[in-house]
Chain A
Amino acid sequence: MTLFVRNGRSDSLTLEGRVVAPVQGIDECLRITIEEGLITRIEPTGSSRPVLAPAFVDPHVHLRTPGREDEETIRSGTEAAAAGGYCAILAMPNTDPVVDTAAVLEALVERAREEAVIPTGFMAAISKGQRGDELTEMAELAARGAAAFTDDGHPVVSGGFMRRALQYSGLTGRRLAVHCEDLALSRGGHAHEGSVSAELGLGGYPSVAESVMVERDLALAAFEERPLHVMHVSAQESVVALHAAQAAGVRATGEVTPHHLCLTDEAVRSLDANVKMNPPLRAEEDRQALISALRDGTIGAVATDHAPHALHEKEVPFEEAPFGVTGLETAFSALYTHLVLPGVLGLETVLERMSAGPARALGLDEPRIEVGARANLVALDLDAEWRVTEDGFRSRSRNSWLLGQTLRGRVVRTIADGREVFAA
């Protein structure tokens, strides 16, 4: 078991609308009856609104717990996820303390059983303290529920250590997820290295700082015949490497964030700290490569990399601001507004890459709409128009790149693990 949720009721309710379940090839108007949390009946209906889809899965969330509960807690983070249409999320282990021992993991699991509004999984660290030199007790961590292993926030610097981690993690049945960054190449970098950073004078964080590590880690995964999940892919060179590895038979998966799909480094000209992320927003060619990769499945998952920061940490000059933006509550609407409505990506593609895609990449159950399945559903009002405002978040933080924007399409209801967890 790798997902944990607050114990409680299972709901009985009926939903109807246009059901879009891309993996199952469904796009028709249906009424779905849920009894005691299970889908018990699916039948035709005349109603085409709202859109009902398998609920979303986010493989990359920072819940900041333990250590920075002022920025996010399991409760606030999962409430935000529920409002964003998610039925499952995976939390990153770069907390304080790092999730690198069974004791820390067990305490988190216990809190999740008390607070998590939706099923929540926890990745554990690859290395003790995420220092990149000693393996964590992966077998025990996996037995206590670690969903996968990552040193996210940090790259695994040593190739030798990465190789050993790939080998040893084979014991666990869990995969490694990697944050690819060559620190010597990204050092001093605050923005993508290109014409915008040149003009603004910002230290450059070049694409190659990511892609050389993606190439190294994929080569090691191929050599060790182990699966590998590449997190927050941002550069077109990384997409090329991922595609080549997959073509060569490596079980490699990738994820991409809504902000890398919707924005380029042109946004950095505002010097607004809410467009500062790691990896940084890149050039238009990179954005186009990411969109193509999401469309053709080279990248199978959308991940928010939801990274809450306290207000005062972001209210500083751009160069002094920490990396990271929130994303759970806006992911679908951002992609719908900026990619689906303009005709860049199909609705089915976005729905699949936000649900079954990430579940498959991390070995979680795919949310399905079929009789006998636990109900994991999201209802979407595609005509709704809403403005992203500072006081509209369930997250404890509001460092969103979408503040002030008007978005189209909104999550109006979320059923996670048979329970209604959000209703607008």
Chain B
Amino acid sequence: MSDLRLLEAPRRHLLSIRDLSREDVHRVLETAKGMAASIDREVKKLPTLRGRTVVNLFYEASTRTLASFELAAKRLSADTMSIRSPGSSVDKGESLKDTALTVSAYDPDVIVIRHPAIGAAELVARLTRAHVVNAGDGKHQHPTQALLDLYTMQEALGRLEGVHVAIVGDILHSRVARSLVQALELVDARATVIGPPTLLPRGVEAFGCDISTDIAAAADADVVYVLRLQRERMDAGEAFVPSLREFTALYGITPERVRPGQVVMHPGPMNRGVEIDPRVADSTAALVTDQVRSGLVVRMAVLYDLLTVAVPAPAPVAVEVG
């Protein structure tokens, strides 16, 4: 096993936005555009990945992400199989390692994994010879979400460079915020994260973006990106805000808080009336369904890119030693 690893070039994975270069991002977005043209045809299927296998390994509830990856693989004619587990690997008895090895025995080309624990995708990547795509690991990363958000912004605004995105809400618990801030930096867009002090992580300055606790900081943004309160990621008994009512009063996106010309995005699922006013969610400014459509073409592009584009793998993260 270890001998094989030495002989083969390391596989490319998409575990984090940090795995991507500026060129990678632009290439994937360009490919996604081509995919979009293809799905407007009457026959939506492309033969590109015929004979390839994509396994979706989902340890966390997901509607849009799993559906989107399944459909993306099918539209490219890949064989696809989805394994869902209600709880974590631990609850189920079998370790993630054993599940990953079991799945790998079928020689899949890609394993897409969603898991509630940070580091799950990295672990699977170390254990398998397949390309691994991180479809969300705890509060860490959700790179395809960030890519589909970039794609959506580019389609709506005609550009990415210089675009200002205000990310509003529960930054602390959001893998979407972490991935998106890094992705925006790669395309020379600007980000401001906005939320109550208890939901901004200590050390958030390292994100390299603007930070505010005042919703007014969203006023001059081109995009207002709304995050829901991740109540399932908050430990029982830990209240980060005194009430949903006060959170909504301070940070909820109401029609009054949306300037003409601004667009509003949300990764879903939305809590209407909490972080986003239903009138905003249903307005023409909201790009929520565009994001879902983008999700399909961007995930097609990611699968295509991993399986057909020869790019040297990035160097593994070195352990820093003083």
Give residues in A with beta carbon < 8 Å to B: 187-188, 190, 193-204, 206, 261-264, 266-267, 269-273, 275, 284, 287, 312, 315-321, 338-339, 344, 401, 405
CB contact between B322 and one of A188, A204, A264, A401 (< 8 Å): that residue: A264
**Given that A198-B201, A198-B202 are known contacts, is A319 also in contact with B322, CB under 8 Å in the complex?**
no
| CB nearest to B122 among chain A residues | A271
In whole angstroms, how far apart are the Cα atoms of A266 and B318 in the complex? 9
**Given that A198-B203, A338-B322 are known contacts, is A312 also in contact with B95, CB under 8 Å in the complex?**
yes
Please classify how large the interface on chain B is, using the bins under 10, 10 to 19, 20 to 34, 35 or more: 35 or more
B residues 184-242 near A (Cβ < 8 Å) are 201-207, 235, 238
Instruction: Please indicate which of the listed interface residues A196, A198, A270, A338 has the most CB atoms of chain B within 10 Å of its own CB.
Output: A198
The answer to whether B321 and A196 touch across the interface, beta carbons within 8 angstroms, is no
Smallest distance from the beta carbon of B303 to chain A beta carbons, Å? 23
The answer to whether B320 and A317 touch across the interface, beta carbons within 8 angstroms, is no
| CB nearest to B120 among chain A residues | A317
| CB nearest to A192 among chain B residues | B203
6 contacts between A and B (CB under 8 A): A199-B203, A200-B178, A202-B140, A263-B322, A284-B322, A316-B89
CB contacts (< 8 Å) of B205 on chain A: these are 195
The answer to whether A267 and B203 touch across the interface, beta carbons within 8 angstroms, is no
4 residue pairs, one from A and one from B, having the closest CB atoms: A318-B119, A201-B139, A195-B206, A198-B203
The answer to whether A201 and B202 touch across the interface, beta carbons within 8 angstroms, is no
In whole angstroms, how far apart are the Cα atoms of A269 and B178 in the complex? 14
The answer to whether A204 and B202 touch across the interface, beta carbons within 8 angstroms, is yes
| CB nearest to B174 among chain A residues | A201
CB contacts (< 8 Å) of A287 on chain B: these are 322
In whole angstroms, how far apart are the Cα atoms of A312 and B123 in the complex? 12
CB contact between B175 and one of A201, A264, A267 (< 8 Å): that residue: A201
B96 sits at the interface (CB 8 A)? yes
CB contact between B119 and one of A203, A204, A264, A319 (< 8 Å): that residue: A319
**Given that A195-B205, A201-B138, A201-B139 are known contacts, is A263 also in contact with B320, CB under 8 Å in the complex?**
yes
Smallest distance from the beta carbon of A372 to chain B beta carbons, Å? 41
Smallest distance from the beta carbon of A42 to chain B beta carbons, Å? 37
The answer to whether B118 and A202 touch across the interface, beta carbons within 8 angstroms, is yes
CB contacts (< 8 Å) of A275 on chain B: these are 319
Smallest distance from the beta carbon of B175 to chain A beta carbons, Å? 6
The answer to whether A315 and B97 touch across the interface, beta carbons within 8 angstroms, is yes
The answer to whether B118 and A318 touch across the interface, beta carbons within 8 angstroms, is yes
The answer to whether A263 and B319 touch across the interface, beta carbons within 8 angstroms, is yes
The answer to whether A206 and B118 touch across the interface, beta carbons within 8 angstroms, is no
Smallest distance from the beta carbon of B136 to chain A beta carbons, Å? 11
B275 sits at the interface (CB 8 A)? no
B105 sits at the interface (CB 8 A)? no
The answer to whether B137 and A317 touch across the interface, beta carbons within 8 angstroms, is yes
CB contacts (< 8 Å) of B317 on chain A: these are 269-270
The answer to whether A317 and B202 touch across the interface, beta carbons within 8 angstroms, is no
Given contact pairs A316-B89, A319-B138, a sample of 20 additional A-B residue pairs in the complex whose CB atoms are under 8 Å apart: A193-B202, A195-B205, A195-B206, A197-B201, A198-B202, A201-B140, A201-B173, A262-B321, A264-B320, A269-B317, A271-B122, A271-B123, A316-B96, A317-B96, A317-B120, A318-B122, A320-B89, A320-B90, A320-B117, A339-B322
The answer to whether A199 and B178 touch across the interface, beta carbons within 8 angstroms, is yes
Smallest distance from the beta carbon of A297 to chain B beta carbons, Å? 21
B115 sits at the interface (CB 8 A)? yes
The answer to whether A200 and B202 touch across the interface, beta carbons within 8 angstroms, is no
Give residues in B with beta carbon < 8 Å to A: 88-90, 95-97, 115, 117-120, 122-123, 137-141, 173-175, 178, 201-207, 235, 238, 316-317, 319-322
Smallest distance from the beta carbon of A175 to chain B beta carbons, Å? 31
In whole angstroms, how far apart are the Cα atoms of A316 and B89 in the complex? 9
Instruction: Please indicate which of the listed interface residues B119, B138, B140 has the most CB atoms of chain A within 10 Å of its own CB.
Output: B119
The answer to whether B119 and A317 touch across the interface, beta carbons within 8 angstroms, is yes
Smallest distance from the beta carbon of B35 to chain A beta carbons, Å? 29
CB contacts (< 8 Å) of B202 on chain A: these are 193-194, 197-198, 204, 206
In whole angstroms, how far apart are the Cα atoms of A319 and B137 in the complex? 10
| CB nearest to B2 among chain A residues | A390
Smallest distance from the beta carbon of A353 to chain B beta carbons, Å? 17
CB contacts (< 8 Å) of B320 on chain A: these are 263-264, 266-267
The answer to whether B88 and A320 touch across the interface, beta carbons within 8 angstroms, is yes
Smallest distance from the beta carbon of A212 to chain B beta carbons, Å? 16
Smallest distance from the beta carbon of B316 to chain A beta carbons, Å? 8
The answer to whether A317 and B115 touch across the interface, beta carbons within 8 angstroms, is yes
CB contacts (< 8 Å) of A263 on chain B: these are 319-322
| CB nearest to A320 among chain B residues | B117
The answer to whether A198 and B117 touch across the interface, beta carbons within 8 angstroms, is no
In whole angstroms, how far apart are the Cα atoms of A310 and B187 in the complex? 44
**Given that A263-B322, A267-B319, A317-B119 are known contacts, is A204 also in contact with B201, CB under 8 Å in the complex?**
yes
CB contacts (< 8 Å) of B95 on chain A: these are 312, 315-316
In whole angstroms, how far apart are the Cα atoms of A316 and B322 in the complex? 27
CB contacts (< 8 Å) of B201 on chain A: these are 193, 197-198, 201, 204
Smallest distance from the beta carbon of A365 to chain B beta carbons, Å? 33
The answer to whether B204 and A262 touch across the interface, beta carbons within 8 angstroms, is no
Instruction: Please indicate which of the listed interface residues B137, B173, B319 has the most CB atoms of chain A within 10 Å of its own CB.
Output: B319
In whole angstroms, how far apart are the Cα atoms of A339 and B321 in the complex? 10
In whole angstroms, how far apart are the Cα atoms of A206 and B203 in the complex? 11
In whole angstroms, how far apart are the Cα atoms of A17 and B125 in the complex? 48
In whole angstroms, how far apart are the Cα atoms of A143 and B153 in the complex? 73
CB contacts (< 8 Å) of B140 on chain A: these are 200-202
| CB nearest to B177 among chain A residues | A201
The answer to whether A198 and B204 touch across the interface, beta carbons within 8 angstroms, is yes
In whole angstroms, how far apart are the Cα atoms of A270 and B15 in the complex? 12
In whole angstroms, how far apart are the Cα atoms of A264 and B319 in the complex? 9
CB contacts (< 8 Å) of B316 on chain A: these are 270
In whole angstroms, how far apart are the Cα atoms of A235 and B49 in the complex? 52
CB contact between A193 and one of B96, B139, B174, B203 (< 8 Å): that residue: B203
The answer to whether B235 and A188 touch across the interface, beta carbons within 8 angstroms, is yes
Smallest distance from the beta carbon of A186 to chain B beta carbons, Å? 12
In whole angstroms, how far apart are the Cα atoms of A266 and B206 in the complex? 13
CB contacts (< 8 Å) of B119 on chain A: these are 271, 273, 317-321
The answer to whether A202 and B139 touch across the interface, beta carbons within 8 angstroms, is yes
Smallest distance from the beta carbon of A311 to chain B beta carbons, Å? 10
In whole angstroms, how far apart are the Cα atoms of A62 and B177 in the complex? 40
| CB nearest to A339 among chain B residues | B322
In whole angstroms, how far apart are the Cα atoms of A287 and B139 in the complex? 27
The answer to whether B322 and A262 touch across the interface, beta carbons within 8 angstroms, is yes
**Given that A195-B205, A267-B319, A267-B320 are known contacts, is A200 also in contact with B118, CB under 8 Å in the complex?**
yes
